[in-house]
Amino acid sequence: MIKAVRGTRDLLPPDTDLWNRVETICREVFALYNFHEIRTPIFEETQLFARGVGEDTDIVSKEMFTWDDRARAQSEKSQSLSLRPENTAGVVRAYIEHKLGETGKLQKLYYIGPQFRRERPQKGRYRQFYQIGAEVLGPPSAGSESPARDAEILEMLATLLDRAGINGWMLYLNSVGCTNDRPRYLAALRDALADVKDKMCEDCQRRAETNPLRVLDCKKPQDQPIIAKLPRISDYLDEDCRKHFAEVQNILTACGVPFSLNDRLVRGLDYYTRTAFEFTHGNLGAQNAILGGGRYDGLSEALGGPKAPGIGFAIGEDRFIMALAGENAEQYKAKPPQVYIAPMGSGMNAHAARLARELRNAGITVELGDEAFRLKKSFETAEKQGITHVLIVGENEVRTDSFAVKNLQSGEQISVARTDLARRLAA
């Protein structure tokens, strides 16, 4: 038997009802904040991620699904392509390619779709997973650099999580500085690590060379006392970064959005500058980050584009659903159809189909049976789906144009004229 590939999975009903509900809530909230959807391809040139996300990140160096796409005609070139491990690089590529900066406006874009990372699968971690994300970017003259944008994104997320019924989320906030102050911090970090890295785990020893910021992210208990004594990025922020970060916090406080500062929060992608954040949730266990994001003021230029500071986030939809399933999933269950139509006997399928068409056009949700079923089987089928009303289509009914409607809960059965059916069933 052929099964779904390790780290991928099928999403089936009724779970997909919950997924759709979550996506609908997100689209509603995005609309309230004037965000519009962008859809970019699920694969891109490998170079985009190498330059955008960073060659030395785990995501790019170990986790991408990459292949050589050979030329199929003289007009094509062979190239290295990758399934997208995240979508910010793709959105910024599209921003540059379509010259969206020339509109002079802020671009407020959201996306919903699959991402791919070859990680070790475990609960809440998949190789194909889904993100619901948003990005705000544009020329500085449009206000893209303002701390008000950071605060608005964070406040929108708080609203979104509250609306979806996710209780007890935590927002962790940090500033990771900019190209001006980061080199000083990295130098201090490298210096400090040179003395202690031999006592740290293998991953940290490697990161100390390739990507020292990532050392701060280490979860190994034995490394924690060492990390606690390393220099802190908050002590190295320059005046502008400090002010920017203070204003983000100021607005959040004014809006009543609770947060905790965590100056070890560095995130796994290289493009971040200034504000970086994660929301966590208790239901998720080890993979407790329900979403993450931050500012990326130099990303557009790194990809050969104009200056276009921006900030965004991506919700891990799989984890969002897990967090919900732990508390509020019941209310999102799709309702059963309003009526089950039971054609009774040969020749009745056509009459039942016509009736179903009329009722559906009137906005009634209908499940349609089959003339080959006995009445008892129709009742049982309806009951199993939680449908409370069965509409019987037999020769008598067709002749009189009046139909028996049985309420399976009360056992009551009444006869309703065709013209009155939709109204009665809606009630």
Q: Which residues bind ligand HAM (CB under 6 A)?
A: 86-88, 117, 119, 124-126, 129, 131, 133, 135, 268-269, 289-294, 296, 312-314, 316, 318-319
Phi, psi of 269 (to 5 degrees): -125, 145
Q: How far is the CB of 105 from ligand HAM (least distance, A)?
A: 19
> Which C-beta is closer to ligand HAM: that of 23 or that of 69?
23
* Minimum distance from residue 146 beta carbon to ligand HAM (Å): 16
For ligand HAM, the closer CB: 165 or 231: 165
Q: Are strands 66-69 and 79-83 parallel, antiparallel or unpaired?
A: antiparallel
CB nearer ligand HAM, residue 54 or residue 312: 312
| CB of 101 or CB of 312, closer to ligand HAM | 312
Tally of residues, the chain: 427
Q: What one-character-per-residue DSSP string does 316-340 give?
A: EHHHHHHHHHTTTGGGGSPPPPSEE
The residue among 120 and 229 lying less far from ligand HAM, judged by its C-beta, is 120
Of 357, 288, 289, the residue nearest 277 (C-alpha): 289
CB of 133 to ligand HAM, least distance (A): 5
Nearest to 179 by CA among 35, 309, 46: 309
How far apart (Å, rounded) are the C-alpha atoms in residues 327 and 22?
Answer: 14
Please identify, using beta-carbon distances, which residue of 91 and 352 lies nearer to ligand HAM: 91
Could you tell me the end-to-end alpha-carbon distance of the chain, in angstroms, rounded to an integer?
48
**Do 254 and 154 touch, CB atoms closer than 8 A?**
no
Minimum distance from CB of 188 to ligand HAM (Å)? 25
Return the beta strands (E) in 176-244 as ranges. none
| C-alpha–C-alpha distance, residues 24 and 152, integer Å | 20
How many angstroms separate the most distant Cα atoms in the chain? 93
The residue sitting closest to ligand HAM, measured at its beta carbon, is 316
Least Å distance, CB 239 to ligand HAM, is 25
**Residue 299 C-beta: closest distance to ligand HAM, Å:** 9
